[in-house]
Amino acid sequence: MTKTLAPGAMIGIIGGGQLGRMMALAAKAMGDRIAVLDPNEKGPCAQVADDIFASQYNDQEAAVKLAEKSDVVTYEFENIDTPVLEKLITKSYVPQGSFPLSVSQHRLREKEAFKEVGAQVVPYRPVSSRADIDEALQEWHSAAVLKTCSGGYDGKGQRVIKTKQEAKRAWEDLCDKGDLILEKFVSLKKELSVVATRNTHGEMSVFPLAENEHRNNVLHCTIAPARVSEKIALEAEEIARNVAKAWDVVGTFAIEFFLDENDRLYVNEWAPRPHNSGHYTIEACETSQFAQHIRAVTGRPLGSPRLLRPAVMINILGEHVPGVNASYERIGNKGHIHFYGKDEAKVGRKMGHITFLGETVEEAIQKSEPAQQIWQ
Ligand code: ADP
Ligand code: MG
């Protein structure tokens, strides 16, 4: 049963980080109210919410209380326990369901699900012994990446393996961290991502393909539109459309891709929620990924994802905060500076982002240069 919720709806969000905050701000612009479940009652989303349920994400009782207060429940966070979500689905309105979330929670399941919809993924194999790694390295004649199947983010739970010595160390580091997967190491020409949205009535919109630069496995900067051929952009869009339809996806989601030196596009992973590489849409597109997400889960018509101007988005991590503050005037008149209201600027923690717009990609890149210097 799908619902169309009028503005003024109570939207329950599981997870209270920056994604929840930006969803909430978009929802508030439409007149909706926000309830949030997060252990931190002063977190980024809680600061702008109407109702706060301060508890762990796997606290079934608290999740049910949130749902009782909400006309619709959504999430900004992937690692919700399946039993908690299943319980909510039986008791309340969770139009996103549990399947898309479960695909994102296990890298092997994710790869298989993408293969089923005809998308290409990098060569991989499940690993349950040291010998599995050695065998794959021999077969592929290539470096590889050992990854935990669950719980990893921003490169956590991953080891690149180029030598037998590294294989030994990677195995020792990760062998007690649950299921493991080994992937062939792709020589990357570019990393790309597509952010798209599907609403409860099956209407779909796709934002322009973006290119991403990672530093230490954390997203550093996103450039939109991606500087790739029309053919590659269309290929990525088609995969997004196929996946959304096949899995009955509701809400904003993202697919990360690797482009190799032969212009082959591989799906890396996917996220059933708004994505860091879609933050540029707030200023650069007619409708943001967050507004689109709220429209989708409330059954409202989607807005246009059209790119108004090319954009460069740069993440502000904890270590960059002093530099951004010191050059706020120089950067602030060129870009849109966002902070998420986090209290402690720890190293590596995502504290905010800046978006620079231009008439062309080159102009947006040029405008971002004073900020890029802070990241040197
Ligand atoms: P996370 O969940 O941490 O984002 P990813 O699988 O996206 O995990 O890996 C993080 C980054 O590590 C990627 O964006 C990419 O830069 C690099 N990486 C991961 N897997 C591979 C691979 N098979 N080949 C080359 N680079 C990789
Ligand atoms: Mg990733």
Amino acid 285: pLDDT:
98
| Residue owning the nearest CA to atom 1 of ligand 1 | 153
Nearest one of 22, 153, 155, 39 to 76, comparing CA atoms: 22
Whether residue 185 is annotated as binding a ligand: the answer is: yes
Q: How many C-beta neighbours within 10 Å does residue 255 have?
A: 24
Task: Give me 257's structure tokens.
Answer: 């891709």
Whether residue 153 is annotated as binding a ligand: the answer is: yes
Residues with CB under 6 A from ligand 1: 122, 145, 152-155, 183, 185-186, 188, 191, 214, 217, 256, 268-269
Give the ligand with the smallest distance to the CA of 213: 1
**How many Å apart are CA 275 and CA 298, to the nearest integer?**
19
* Residue of 106, 133, 158 best suited for mutating to test ligand 1, as the one with most atoms within 8 Å of CB: 158
Cα separations in angstroms, 351 against 43, 73, 79, 153, 346: 12, 26, 21, 16, 9
Whether residue 267 is annotated as binding a ligand: the answer is: no
Query: If you search the block for the tokens 């720890």, which residue do you land on?
Result: 346
Q: How far is the CA of 237 from the centre of ligand 1 (A)?
A: 21
Q: Tens of pLDDT along 113-135? A: 999 999 999 999 999 999 999 99
Q: How far is the CA of 154 from the centre of ligand 2 (A)?
A: 6
Q: Which chain residues have CB less than 5 Å from ligand 2, an ion?
A: 256
pLDDT band at 66 (very low <50, low <70, confident <90, very high): very high
Amino acid 144: pLDDT:
97
Whether residue 107 is annotated as binding a ligand: the answer is: yes
Handedness of CA 76, 82, 87, 90 (dihedral sign): positive
| Residue owning the nearest CA to atom 22 of ligand 1 | 185
Residues 260-292, buried b or exposed e (16+ Cβ, 10 A)?
eeeeebbbbbbbbbbbbbbbbbbbbbebbbbbb
Q: Tens of pLDDT along 204-263? A: 999 999 999 999 889 999 999 999 999 999 999 999 999 999 999 999 999 999 999 999
Q: Give the CA-trace dihedral at 346, 349, 351, 356, to 10 degrees.
A: 130
pLDDT band at 306 (very low <50, low <70, confident <90, very high): very high
**How many Å apart are CA 70 and CA 53, to the nearest integer?**
12
Q: Tens of pLDDT along 138-176? A: 999 999 999 999 988 888 999 999 998 999 999 999 999
Share of the chain above pLDDT 90, in %: 91
- Return the ligand 1 atom nearest residue 187 CA: 25
Stretch 50-64: mean pLDDT, rounded? 95
**How many Å apart are CA 131 and CA 175, to the nearest integer?**
12
* Strand-pair partners of 267: 121, 257
pLDDT band at 107 (very low <50, low <70, confident <90, very high): very high
Task: Give me 289's structure tokens.
Answer: 């990924």
**How many Å apart are CA 227 and CA 40, to the nearest integer?**
40
Q: How far is the CA of 217 from the centre of ligand 1 (A)?
A: 7
pLDDT band at 191 (very low <50, low <70, confident <90, very high): very high
The pTM for the full model equals 0.96
Cα separations in angstroms, 259 against 32, 85, 306, 315, 321: 40, 34, 24, 22, 32
Surface-to-core class of residue 198, CB atoms within 10 Å of its CB (0-12 exposed, 13-18 middle, 19+ buried) = buried
Q: Tens of pLDDT along 9-48? A: 999 999 999 999 999 999 999 999 999 999 999 999 999 9
| Residue owning the nearest CA to atom 9 of ligand 1 | 155
